[in-house]
């Protein structure tokens, strides 16, 4: 943390800032602003926030200009150490005009003194007049200035603390700091070890299309050797009793109820399993691995093979993890000076226009076979634009050929990433097919079109290919993703291994919830546990509790679970996060609902709190409920009003991470005491008692 000494800053200000107020006035913009944390861009003194300092415009709220203040972007936090030396804090706040009229701007200002809320603006939009306030900060040691994103993401969330100043007793300046963080905690494992007796895990339903190659590996934990069985398997399918792999293809549409069995020297297990041969695939969210968060542009066929091996060796396959997905950089690259990819500067396509894999991927079909032989599936990546986000060959004008190539090689999953398609829609490159472009569009056609094209070609292939849309949630993708054959759609920008990213992405998904269902999933991006780092892997920076929050929330959201970690470096804690079958069952629940936030608790015993309670209805009549504490301090809270959760009667409450019942209660009479760690969660299941 950087901070000027009071004397140093005074001298500096004395020399260069003649407009400094009286000795008792300390302006917010005169404090050290370096510690401000915010959604993106940089906070600026006397200007609105910007990506680059030279871009900031004067602070302006609904056409009113301010000479002084601080421009920031939600979610923003600045801690000011007043040490009881200030008497009042005043400001005029609002959304900056640099995105005037944007419907995406929604922000809320908070002034918090020693954990108590002193002032709150309410949600503000562009064109709202600045709100002026003055609050007493007498006796306050620790003042937190926060701007929230009103829970809808931080697009265009420019927020100004204009005319912001303190009246003080004696101080001439104050030290500043960033967002508070929770006390450090060493990783603690909650997931009980799987028993040595057989247990069949994973989804209870599987979708396939008529005639498509079928591959499903029965996910079962327990000592090996294990013998598998499948009673009532429809004709066309065959089980390998040693590996548990079911292969073949179905000659007729319909639903088939199969009893899966697993037996070892210690016992046996059975499970009802539904195979649905129809139009929809991905009847539960895809689970697997993707190369990007860990290897980025440094991916190779060898690393993909070793990820597949690790998926089996680590036992993750026994919990339902299936896909091994190659992200960007399996293709050749357009000319660049970037030294890491010089070996990829080769022709992007062959003489007939078919895409070629790069020298690090010498045999795509062989690689797909390798992955399939292990009972796993394989995914690939492209862009509707001429190049991918990383500058490799994209599918523009070659969509049908590429869909055919991916199918011929044996791929089961395509992530299709918007990226350079912007150059098509803004008219900056040739558009021989006259596809809809943005400037002529009065609707979302220009944004939907490229996904519709590829979705159609994928659907024509003689194998099932999950279509994963990646365009960061633009044009309300959740409303049309299913209609273009999409199985899942990214709803946000790229995740990273920080609390802010998890919070900003994970807790803003309610908008997409009504559209999530079997075959169509909200994708808040990949998992960020284990070793991650985009070509320079390091252990995730998330705290253990933040990782519990991340996995619990993604499961409640019915999100695809794609591990972004180096699979060669899975430690026990990371494995415990990824192998809790009761937690994974929430993600894989057949009903396919997406949890939404049903309760927010902003104050507990007079102190500011940020509890969010997420609820997901499950197929068996139960509810998964996540009690998330977004504050940094542990909180104690009692759930007493069950009507908000629409729960009544006698309920059995089970802690899913610990796999233990914690209470049996009567919703009308009892309450449930909860202690939740800072940035942490309790993930419970409520089941009506018989």
Tell me which residues are annotated as active site: 417, 494
Residue with nearest beta carbon to ligand GLA: 389
Name the nearest CA neighbour of 158 among 109, 107, 110, 121: 107
Nearer to ligand GLA, 493 or 634 (CB): 493
Is residue 255 within 8 Å of residue 276, measured between CB atoms?
Answer: yes
Q: Is 690 exposed, middle or buried (0-12, 13-18, 19+ CB in 10 A)?
A: exposed
Nearer to ligand GLA, 301 or 389 (CB): 389
Whether the CA torsion 527, 529, 531, 536 is positive or negative: it is positive
Q: Tell me the sheet residues that pair with 336.
A: none
Name the nearest CA neighbour of 593 among 522, 505, 487: 522
Q: How far from the centroid of its chain's Cα atoms is residue 29's Cα? A: 34
Least distance to ligand GLA, CB of residue 316, Å:
21
Interatomic CA distance for residues 37 and 122, integer angstroms: 21
Least distance to ligand GLA, CB of residue 391, Å:
8
Interatomic CA distance for residues 112 and 93, integer angstroms: 15
First and final C-alpha spacing in the chain: 56
Least distance to ligand GLA, CB of residue 396, Å:
16
Numbers of helices and strands, H then E, in the chain:
12, 40
- Which tokens hold the place of 462? 């003689």
Least distance to ligand GLA, CB of residue 276, Å:
30
Q: Is 633 exposed, middle or buried (0-12, 13-18, 19+ CB in 10 A)?
A: middle
SS3 644: helix
Q: How far from the centroid of its chain's Cα atoms is residue 679's Cα? A: 16
List, as one string, the DSSP characters of 70-101. EEEESSEEEEEE-TT-EEEEEEEEEEBGGGTT
Nearer to ligand GLA, 137 or 414 (CB): 414
| H or E stretch covering 367 | helix 364-373
Interatomic CA distance for residues 427 and 399, integer angstroms: 19
Nearer to ligand GLA, 81 or 472 (CB): 472
Is residue 542 within 8 Å of residue 529, measured between CB atoms?
Answer: yes
Least distance to ligand GLA, CB of residue 378, Å:
16
**Kind of pairing, strands 175-177 and 76-81?**
antiparallel
- Which residues contact ligand GLA (rule: CB under 6 A)? 292, 327-328, 388-390, 417, 470, 494
Nearer to ligand GLA, 301 or 595 (CB): 301
Nearer to ligand GLA, 409 or 534 (CB): 534
Nearer to ligand GLA, 270 or 494 (CB): 494
Residue linked to tokens 């802010």: 500
SS (H, E, C) 378-404: EEEEECCCCECCCCEECCCCCHHHHHH
Interatomic CA distance for residues 310 and 281, integer angstroms: 26
Least distance to ligand GLA, CB of residue 483, Å:
22
Name the nearest CA neighbour of 562 among 587, 581, 595, 543: 587
Least distance to ligand GLA, CB of residue 468, Å:
10
Nearer to ligand GLA, 391 or 677 (CB): 391
Is residue 610 within 8 Å of residue 629, measured between CB atoms?
Answer: yes
CB neighbour list of residue 538: distance below 8 Å, 6 or more residues apart: 531, 532
Least distance to ligand GLA, CB of residue 383, Å:
8
Least distance to ligand GLA, CB of residue 453, Å:
19
Nearer to ligand GLA, 117 or 325 (CB): 325
CB atoms within 10 A of CB 648: 12
Nearer to ligand GLA, 328 or 497 (CB): 328
Least distance to ligand GLA, CB of residue 506, Å:
16
CB atoms within 10 A of CB 541: 14
Least distance to ligand GLA, CB of residue 473, Å:
11
Is residue 312 within 8 Å of residue 567, measured between CB atoms?
Answer: no
Nearer to ligand GLA, 100 or 360 (CB): 360
Interatomic CA distance for residues 153 and 150, integer angstroms: 8
Name the nearest CA neighbour of 525 among 133, 536, 135, 498: 498
């Amino acid at each position: 943390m950087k901070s000027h000494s009071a004397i140093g800053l005074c001298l500096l200000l004395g020399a260069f800032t003649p407009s400094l107020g009286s000795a008792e006035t300390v302006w917010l913009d005169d404090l050290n602003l370096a510690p401000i944390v915010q959604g993106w861009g940089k906070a600026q003194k006397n200007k609105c926030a910007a990506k680059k300092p030279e871009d900031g415009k004067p602070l302006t709220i609904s056409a009113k200009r301010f000479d002084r203040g601080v421009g920031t972007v939600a979610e923003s936090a600045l801690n000011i150490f007043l040490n009881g030396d200030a008497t009042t804090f005043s400001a005029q706040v609002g959304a900056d005009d640099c995105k005037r009229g944007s419907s995406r701007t929604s922000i809320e200002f908070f002034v918090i003194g020693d954990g108590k809320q002193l002032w709150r603006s309410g949600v503000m939009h562009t064109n709202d007049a600045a709100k002026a306030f003055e609050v007493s900060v007498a006796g306050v040691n620790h003042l937190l200035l926060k701007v929230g994103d009103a829970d809808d993401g931080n697009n265009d969330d420019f927020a100004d603390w204009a005319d912001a100043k303190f009246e003080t007793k004696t101080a001439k300046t104050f030290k500043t700091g960033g967002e508070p963080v929770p006390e450090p905690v060493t990783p603690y494992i909650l997931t009980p070890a799987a028993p040595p007796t057989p247990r069949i895990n994973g989804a209870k339903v599987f979708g396939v299309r008529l005639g498509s190659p079928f591959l499903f590996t029965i996910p079962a934990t327990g000592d090996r050797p294990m013998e598998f069985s499948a009673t009532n398997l429809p004709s066309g399918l065959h089980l390998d009793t040693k590996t548990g792999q079911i292969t073949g293809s179905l000659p007729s549409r319909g639903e088939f109820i199969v009893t899966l069995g697993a037996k070892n020297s210690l016992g046996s297990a059975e499970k009802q399993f539904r195979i649905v041969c129809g139009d929809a695939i991905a009847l539960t969210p895809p689970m697997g691995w993707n190369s990007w968060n860990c290897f980025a542009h440094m991916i190779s066929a060898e690393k993909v093979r070793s990820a597949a091996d690790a998926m089996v060796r680590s036992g993750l396959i026994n919990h339902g993890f299936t896909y091994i997905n190659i992200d960007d950089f399996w293709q050749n690259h357009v000319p660049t000076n970037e030294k890491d990819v010089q070996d990829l500067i080769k022709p992007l396509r062959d003489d007939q226009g078919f895409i070629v894999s790069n020298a690090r991927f010498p045999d795509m079909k062989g690689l797909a076979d390798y992955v399939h032989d292990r009972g796993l599936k394989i995914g690939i990546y492209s862009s509707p634009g001429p190049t991918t986000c990383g500058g490799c060959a994209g599918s523009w004008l070659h969509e049908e050929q590429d869909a055919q190539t991916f199918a011929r090689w044996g791929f089961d999953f395509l992530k299709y990433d918007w990226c350079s398609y912007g150059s098509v829609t803004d008219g900056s490159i040739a558009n021989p097919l006259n596809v809809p472009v943005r400037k002529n569009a009065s609707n979302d056609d220009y944004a939907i079109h490229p996904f519709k094209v590829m979705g159609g070609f994928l659907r024509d292939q003689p194998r099932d290919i999950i279509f994963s849309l990646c365009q960061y949630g633009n044009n309300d993708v959740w409303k049309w993703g299913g209609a273009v054959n999409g199985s899942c759609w990214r709803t946000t920008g790229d995740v990273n291994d920080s609390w802010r990213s998890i919070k900003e992405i994970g807790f803003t998904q309610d908008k997409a919830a009504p559209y999530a269902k079997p075959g169509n999933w909200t994708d808040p991006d990949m998992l960020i546990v284990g070793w991650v780092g985009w070509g320079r892997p390091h252990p995730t920076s998330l705290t253990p509790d933040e990782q519990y929050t991340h996995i619990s929330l993604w499961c409640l959201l019915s999100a695809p679970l794609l591990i972004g970690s180096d699979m060669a470096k899975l430690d026990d804690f990371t494995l415990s996060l990824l192998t809790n079958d009761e937690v994974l069952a929430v993600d894989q629940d057949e009903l396919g609902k997406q949890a939404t936030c049903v309760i927010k608790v902003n104050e507990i015993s007079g102190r500011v709190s940020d509890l969010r309670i997420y609820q997901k209805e499950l197929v068996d009549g139960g509810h998964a409920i996540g009690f998330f504490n977004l504050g940094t301090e542990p909180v104690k809270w009692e759930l007493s009003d069950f009507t908000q959760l629409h729960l009544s009667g006698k309920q059995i409450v089970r802690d899913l991470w610990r796999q233990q019942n914690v209470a049996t209660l009567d919703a009308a009479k009892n309450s449930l005491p909860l202690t939740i760690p800072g940035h942490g969660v309790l993930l419970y299941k409520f089941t009506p008692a018989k």
